[in-house]
Each structure stands twice: as structure tokens, then as C-alpha cells.
Amino acid sequence: MDDYVNKEVVEIDKVIEGNQNGAMRRVTTETHPSAPDGSGRRLYGMVAVSFGMLCVLQVALNISLRLVSDCLTEERDQLPASYNDLIIERDQLQKEKDYIMGKCSNPGWNKFESCWYFVSSESKTWSESRQDCVERGADLVIVNSREKQRFLFALNKRAWIGLTDRETEGSWKWVDGTPLRTRYWIIDQPNNGRSLSSFPEEDCVELQNGQDQPEKTWNDLNCALKRIWICELCNNNLL
């Protein structure tokens, strides 16, 4: 009888123990999450790629900001130099203005367009006339437009202008070295003195007054003869 009771107790204990183990296994299984499937891995990959792209964009943004900062710094550093250049240019323009006003405020100067013109009251050779103009900060007049030619014609003076072919016969040049383009010769001029054997080599040019046509007043003449002269003072004459 005792053996039978003990056997039943042992069987009951095994059943209880089995039920406990099963319950523990179920609890353990339910408390551990399942491993990610294929869609979960793809989601993780997309997150990783997005994070990487954000990092690349951040690096690019940092580089761009650095370049912009460097450019702004360089422009800021150049501002003092640009300001100084403007000051120098302003002072130079003021100096030129004062120079012209000082030179041309004396009697004998006439203004036409943007230049001033001096007509002498005495006569000198072409070279001496040019030297006088240079000493005044000017040079013998250059006629490079019809308007200026008409302005000079209206002065009604027989005077030297800044045109010569002393360097090469027949190659007429102005005192600034530019070749002759616009021509206002008297009919049959220049003739290099062929009509006057006593004054050969007519290599300098004068304006002749008393002409009927404003655009036909130039005459070549021997440079050693004496005439009054016309100086021209423009900004590009200033030293």
C-alpha cells in the first residue's frame, strides 16, 4: 500500500515538473524577439545609406562655407587697396584740373570741346614754336577732326600746327607720332617747295588764313621760317 502511494506521488511530481518546464519554455520563447526578416534588413540598409548621404552633404556644406568665407575674407582684404586706388585717381584728376585751370586762366587760351588752345603773339620757327608749347605743358595742335579744323579756321591765323614729314619725306606725322589720316590741304599742296627754289624741303605745315574753304587751309613750308603757332593742351598732354 505504501509502495503504491509513493509511486502515485512520484508520477504526480513528474507531471507537475513537466508542466513547469513547458511553461518556462513558452515564457522563454515569447520573451525573445524573432530575428529580422528580409524587409527588416532592407529598412536597416536604407537608414544606413541615408545617414551616409547626410554625412556627405554635411562635408560638402562645410567645404562650401569655407570657400565662401575665404572669398569674403579676400575681398575684405582687397577693399583698402581699392579705396587707396580711388583716392590716388581722384587726386590725379584734381591735379590735372588744377593744372589746366592754372595754365589756361591766362590770356591767350581758348577752350574748344575738352581741350585748350594757345595762340602766340610772336613768330618763331617750327621747332622753336613746338618747344614753347612743350614748356607750357602742351604741344603744337593736332587736327584730327573736321570740327577742330573749322574751329582753327575761325581763328583766322597763319600759324604752325603739329604736322611734319621731316623724318621721312612724304610720310606726314603729327607731333604725337600718329600718321596723317584726315587731310585739309590747299589745292596743289603739299608740294615740298617745288614752286620756290629758294626754300626747298618744306617739311612743316602751317594754317593759311584768308581761305574761302575751311577744309582747305594747310600748306607745307620750310621749317626754318617764322610763324605764330597754336598750342593744344588736353589731359593726355599732362605729365
Predicted pLDDT at 222: 94
Which cell is 172 given?
Answer: 606726314
Residues, the chain, total? 239
**Pair 174, 238: CB distance under 8 Å:** no
> What is the residue range of 229's domain?
110-237
Q: Is residue 15 part of a domain?
A: no
Number of domains the chain is built from: 1
Q: Is residue 64 part of a domain?
A: no
Q: Is residue 162 part of a domain?
A: yes
36 — pLDDT class (breaks 50, 70, 90): low
Q: Is residue 52 part of a domain?
A: no
Distance CA 155, CA 67 (A): 64
Pairing of strands 109-112, 115-119: antiparallel
Q: What is the pLDDT of residues 80-102, one digit of tens each?
A: 777 788 888 887 777 666 566 55
Of all residues in the chain, the percent with pLDDT exceeding 70 is: 73
Predicted pLDDT at 159: 98
Distance CA 205, CA 185 (A): 10
Q: CA angle at residue 130 from 128 to 132, to 5 degrees?
A: 70
Instruction: Give the CATH number for residue 204.
Output: 3.10.100.10
In this predicted model, which residue has the larger pLDDT, 151 or 73?
A: 151
Q: Smallest Cα–Cα separation from 154: which of 195, 207, 91, 115?
A: 207
Question: Has residue 53 got a pLDDT over 70?
Answer: yes
Q: What is the pLDDT of residues 107-155, one digit of tens each?
A: 678 899 989 999 999 999 999 999 999 999 999 999 999 999 999 999 9
Alpha-carbon distances, residue 194 vs 125, 149, 197, 201 (angstroms): 20, 26, 6, 9
Q: Per-residue pLDDT averaged across 55-82, rounded?
A: 80
Coil, strand or helix at 226: coil
Predicted pLDDT at 70: 78
Q: Is residue 161 part of a domain?
A: yes
Predicted pLDDT at 58: 86
In this predicted model, which residue has the larger pLDDT, 38 or 23?
A: 38
Residues 6+ apart with CB under 8 A from 141: 117, 148, 152, 161, 162, 230, 231, 232
Q: Per-residue pLDDT averaged across 35-56, rounded?
A: 76
Q: Is residue 43 part of a domain?
A: no
Question: Has residue 29 got a pLDDT over 50?
Answer: no
